[in-house]
Amino acid sequence: MPTYLSPGVYVEEILSGNAPIAGVGTSTAGFIGVIPFTDKVTEVVKPLDDAVKAAEKKVKEAEKTAVKDADDAAKAADDAKVTANAKAKTSANELEAAKQELEKAKENANTEADKKRYNIYGGTSVLSGEVKLCTNFSEFKKHFGDFSAVAGQNTLAHAVYGFFTNGGTRCYVVWVPEIAEIDTALSQFEAIDEIAIVAAPGITDKAALLKIDVHCGQTTQDSFAIFDTTEEVSDTSKLEPGTASMPGKSGYAALYYPWIQVFDPVKKGAIYVPPSGHIAGVYARVDTQRGVHKAPANETVLGAMGLKTNVTKALQDGLNPHGINCIRSLNGSIKVWGARTFGGDKNGEFMYINIRRLFSYLRESIDEGTQWAVFEPNSPELWAKIRRNINAFLLNVWRSGALFGSTPEQAFFVKCDEETNPPETRDVGQVVTIIGVAVVKPAEFVIFKISQRSEQSNK
């Protein structure tokens, strides 16, 4: 308490006791590359394997010597026992040292091999499962290497390059040697709360896609997955949710078709790549320019030169209801021409990507922005503070155009009072707040009805 000695007006800054709710980031991506080991890896690992074999041979020789010296010691005369035992002890020590040398050789072989398996692609020694933050493509090259002739690594490089080209600014990147180890990458992403978009460029294995979906929709519940199709799709009906090759419907994932054509510096010509990295960049660009509430569609895919398949309106008519988002060549541009979650009509209220991502944004922002309330006295004063904080946050969201309604009262409500917090609720340490929002849905079908009017009717 300050001391006031003379008359006057005193203006002081005080802490409010709780900070306003700030919106969380929505455009940081997490990329998983699956890069199988190649023949070049064998060349790197072979000298290390030779070191292990040499150490194993040394152990075997030491074992033979130790056994022989022990037998000699047992057969020696009484007056030579001391010398023989000493010799046997020396051999035993040499055996133990050889064993330790073997273990060290194995450890070194495993560590160095793991490092050099990626180092051959031009990057630094990034271990499999090790996550690196990249804020531009130069940082990616420093850690993971430039474009290359190695399929898995080049796919990852093009995805990250496409992400930054289309407006992305931050992404976390990790690689694993095989699809079965994708759990390792996902577990690393769990600890990075900033990641809001997850993609494994070019990975179409059903089990792997399901793991990514579970990670986004159940484990973190605040991230969104972008799926790729295979490069060649002979039957588009196989892309539908729940088929033999695809996981079931999901409100936390989106699928894009077909692959896009880009320029490859290594081949010095055009190649086809999966679009997930570029699409993640489109998400980031739309989030920055318009907001997470805007559907990431009717947007140009920067860097795309063409498409593996030219999708017609008739073809998309059969794909769109299932949530298979098409990339189309329209008016001289390659554009994202779909905004549905995987499953489309079957996902009900979360049929659209922007609705799912907006709800995730609201939930995570409120979660992080109200942590101050934990262990506060569960009283009307606390309820009022909660209402004020959330109302202020949602007012800003409404003003950004994300909520439907001409007034805040039409757009949202926040209820936290004695009705939502009766004695039995307070007795178990709970404070309950009910929030309702009216979201703005995308104008997916823009319909104009035109008719002729006669001269008489004009009069």
Same domain as 380, residue 325: no
The pair of structure tokens assigned to 454 is 């006669």
In a domain, residue 406? The reply is: yes
User: Of 56, 88, 119, which closes a domain?
Assistant: 119
Tell which residue, 168, 399, 419, 414, has the closest CA to residue 278: 168
In a domain, residue 2? The reply is: no
CB 201 within 8 A of CB 209: no
379-to-158, 367, 372, 429 alpha-carbon distances in Å: 55, 20, 15, 11
In a domain, residue 13? The reply is: no
DSSP 8-state secondary structure symbol assigned to residue 215: I
Same domain as 342, residue 209: yes
Same domain as 236, residue 130: yes
- 277 residue type, one letter: G
CB 369 within 8 A of CB 389: yes
Same domain as 406, residue 296: no
Angstrom distance (rounded) from CA 344 to CA 310 = 21
Same domain as 332, residue 249: yes
The pair of structure tokens assigned to 456 is 């008489």
Question: 84-96 pLDDT, tens per residue?
Answer: 666 666 677 776 7
Residues of the chain below pLDDT 70: 1-2, 12-18, 38-56, 58-59, 62-63, 66-67, 69-90, 95, 102, 105-117, 119-125, 455-459
Q: For residue 180, count other CB atoms closer than 10 A to its CB.
A: 12
Same domain as 331, residue 273: yes
Same domain as 305, residue 235: yes
In a domain, residue 340? The reply is: yes
Angstrom distance (rounded) from CA 387 to CA 365 = 15
- The pLDDT value recorded for residue 414 is 96
Report how many domains make up the chain.
3
User: Of 311, 331, 355, which closes a domain?
Assistant: 355
Same domain as 350, residue 269: yes
Strands 412-415 and 434-437: antiparallel
Instruction: Please report, for the domain that includes residue 309, its CATH number.
Output: 3.40.50.11780
Same domain as 262, residue 129: yes
Angstrom distance (rounded) from CA 121 to CA 150 = 8
Q: Tokens 């290497």 — which residue?
A: 145
In a domain, residue 387? The reply is: yes
Question: 242-291 pLDDT, tens per residue?
Answer: 999 999 999 999 999 999 999 999 999 999 999 999 999 999 999 999 99
In a domain, residue 168? The reply is: yes
User: Of 320, 355, 390, which closes a domain?
Assistant: 355
Same domain as 144, residue 112: no
Same domain as 391, residue 344: no
Same domain as 105, residue 55: yes
**DSSP per-residue codes, 36-77:** ---HHHHHHHHHHHHHHHHHHHHHHHHHHHHHHHHHHHHHS-
Please state the pTM of the whole predicted model: 0.81
- The pLDDT value recorded for residue 77 is 53
Residue 427, Cβ density class (10 Å: 0-12 exposed, 13-18 middle, ≥19 buried): exposed
In a domain, residue 365? The reply is: no
Tell which residue, 277, 259, 247, 258, has the closest CA to residue 343: 247
Angstrom distance (rounded) from CA 109 to CA 331 = 56
CB 183 within 8 A of CB 258: no
Kindly compute the dihedral angle of the four CA atoms of residues 194, 357, 220, 336, in this order, to the nearest 10 degrees: -80
CB 212 within 8 A of CB 206: no
174-to-7, 127, 160, 183, 195 alpha-carbon distances in Å: 65, 9, 11, 12, 13
Q: Which domain holds residue 204?
A: 29-35+123-355
Nearest-5° angle of CA 349, CA 354, CA 357? Answer: 90
Angstrom distance (rounded) from CA 257 to CA 384 = 49
In a domain, residue 401? The reply is: yes
